Structure 1
Amino acid sequence: MLQFETVVATGSPALDSGIGDTALKTFNGDTYLYSVTGPFGGVAAWRLTEGAGPKLVDTVYHSGPILYQVGRTGVPITLGAEDQLALDINNATGLVGYTLNADGTFGDLQETGTLVGGGDISAMAQLDVGGQSYLTLAHEDTDQIGSYEINPDGTLSVVSLVSGQADSMRAATVGSEQFVITANAANSEIAVFDVSASDGSLSALDNSAAVSTMGISTPTAIEVVEAYGQSWVIVAGSGSNSLSVMGLRSDGRLIPKDHVLDTLNTRFESVQDLSVIEVNGRVFIVAGGSDDGVSLFTLTPNGKLVYLDSFADTLDSGLGNVQTLNLAHIGDELQVLATSQQDPGLTQLSVSLANLGVVLDGSGPVTGTAHDDMLSAGVLDAQLSGGDGDDILIAGSGETTLTGGAGADIFVMQYGSDPTTVADFEAGTDRLDMFDYLLLRTPDQLTFTATSQGADIQYLNEVVHVISSTGTPLTKEEVFGSGFGGPDHIPVDFGTFGGLEPSSSDGIQGRVSIDSETNNPGLADAEIKFTPTGGGTVTATTDETGRFDLNVPNGTLVGELEVVKTYSTASGRVNALDALQVLRISVGLDPTWGPAAPENLIAADITQDGAVNALDALSILQAAVGQTSPYPAKWVFLDAEADLSGITRDAVNYDTQLDITVQDGSFAMDMTSILLGNIESF
Structure 2
Amino acid sequence: MGFVEIGRVAWLEGDATQRHLLGISDMWIEQGAAGPMLYTISEAGQMLASFSLTGSAPRLIDRAAMPAGPALGVDTEVSLIEAGGKTLACVTGVAGRPAWLTATGDEGQIKGYGGDPFAALPDDAAQILVTDVGSQSYAYVLRPGSDSISAYRMAADGSYSAVYTPAPERPTSSGPGLSDLATLELHGKTWLAGASTDLDALVLFRVAGNGVPVETDRVWNLTGIGLDTPSAVVTAVVGGHGYAVMASSNTSSITVAEILADGTLKVTDHVLDSLNTRF
Q: Counterpart of 2:189 in structure 1: which amino acid? A: E
Structure 1 residues 282-361: aligned runs within 5 Å? none
Match of 1:48 among 23, 37, 53: 53
Q: Residues of 2 paired with 1:212 and 1:87: CA distance? A: 35
1:381 matched residue in structure 2: none
**Counterpart contact for 2:98–2:118, Cα < 8 Å:** yes
**Counterpart contact for 2:227–2:248, Cα < 8 Å:** yes
Q: CA deviation at 1:93?
A: 4.6
2:172 matched residue in structure 1: none
Residues 106 and 250 of structure 1: is their aligned pair in 2 closer, same or farther, counting only changes over 3 Å?
A: same
Q: CA deviation at 1:32?
A: 0.9
Are 1:101 and 2:113 counterparts? no
Are 1:73 and 2:77 counterparts? yes
Are 1:194 and 2:212 counterparts? no
1:36 matched residue in structure 2: 41
The SS at the match of 2:19 is helix
2:162 matched residue in structure 1: 158
Q: Identity over the aligned pairs, expressed in percent?
A: 19
Are 1:170 and 2:182 counterparts? yes
Q: Counterpart of 1:126 in structure 2: which amino acid? A: V
Structure 1 residues 136-151: aligned runs within 5 Å? 136-140=140-144, 144-151=148-155
Residues 209 and 76 of structure 1: is their aligned pair in 2 closer, same or farther, counting only changes over 3 Å?
A: closer
Q: Counterpart of 1:218 in structure 2: which amino acid? A: T
**Counterpart contact for 2:182–2:235, Cα < 8 Å:** yes
Q: Residues of 1 paired with 2:92 and 2:227: CA distance? A: 26
Count of matched residue positions in the alignment of Structure 1 and Structure 2 = 263
Structure 1 residues 428-577: aligned runs within 5 Å? 486-490=275-279
Q: Counterpart of 1:193 in structure 2: which amino acid? A: F
Q: TM-score, normalised by structure 2?
A: 0.83
Q: Residues of 2 paired with 1:67 and 1:91: CA distance? A: 6
Question: How much is the aligned-residue C-alpha RMSD, in angstroms?
Answer: 2.6
1:231 matched residue in structure 2: 242
Q: Residues of 1 paired with 2:34 and 2:18: CA distance? A: 31
2:195 matched residue in structure 1: 183
Residues 68 and 243 of structure 1: is their aligned pair in 2 closer, same or farther, counting only changes over 3 Å?
A: closer
**Counterpart contact for 1:184–1:218, Cα < 8 Å:** yes
Q: CA deviation at 1:26?
A: 2.5
**Counterpart contact for 2:232–2:248, Cα < 8 Å:** yes
The SS at the match of 1:103 is coil
Q: Residues of 1 paired with 2:271 and 2:146: CA distance? A: 34
Match of 1:14 among 7, 13, 19: 19
Structure 1 residues 632-671: aligned runs within 5 Å? none
1:92 matched residue in structure 2: 96
Residues 3 and 210 of structure 1: is their aligned pair in 2 closer, same or farther, counting only changes over 3 Å?
A: closer
**Counterpart contact for 1:10–1:56, Cα < 8 Å:** no
Q: Residues of 1 paired with 2:95 and 2:58: CA distance? A: 34
Which structure carries more relative contact order (alpha carbon 8 Å, separation 6+)?
2
**Which protein is bigger by CA-based radius of gyration?**
1
Q: Residues of 1 paired with 2:42 and 2:232: CA distance? A: 18
Q: Residues of 1 paired with 2:222 and 2:64: CA distance? A: 41
Q: Residues of 2 paired with 1:75 and 1:34: CA distance? A: 8
The SS at the match of 2:8 is strand
The SS at the match of 1:15 is helix
2:173 matched residue in structure 1: none
Q: Residues of 1 paired with 2:277 and 2:220: CA distance? A: 23
Q: Counterpart of 1:179 in structure 2: which amino acid? A: W
Q: Counterpart of 2:277 in structure 1: which amino acid? A: D
Q: Counterpart of 2:103 in structure 1: which amino acid? A: T
Unaligned runs of 5+ in 1: 267-485, 491-682
**Counterpart contact for 2:61–2:108, Cα < 8 Å:** yes
Residues 141 and 208 of structure 1: is their aligned pair in 2 closer, same or farther, counting only changes over 3 Å?
A: closer
Q: Counterpart of 2:242 in structure 1: which amino acid? A: S
Residues 52 and 103 of structure 1: is their aligned pair in 2 closer, same or farther, counting only changes over 3 Å?
A: same
Q: Residues of 1 paired with 2:95 and 2:23: CA distance? A: 22
**Counterpart contact for 2:219–2:225, Cα < 8 Å:** no
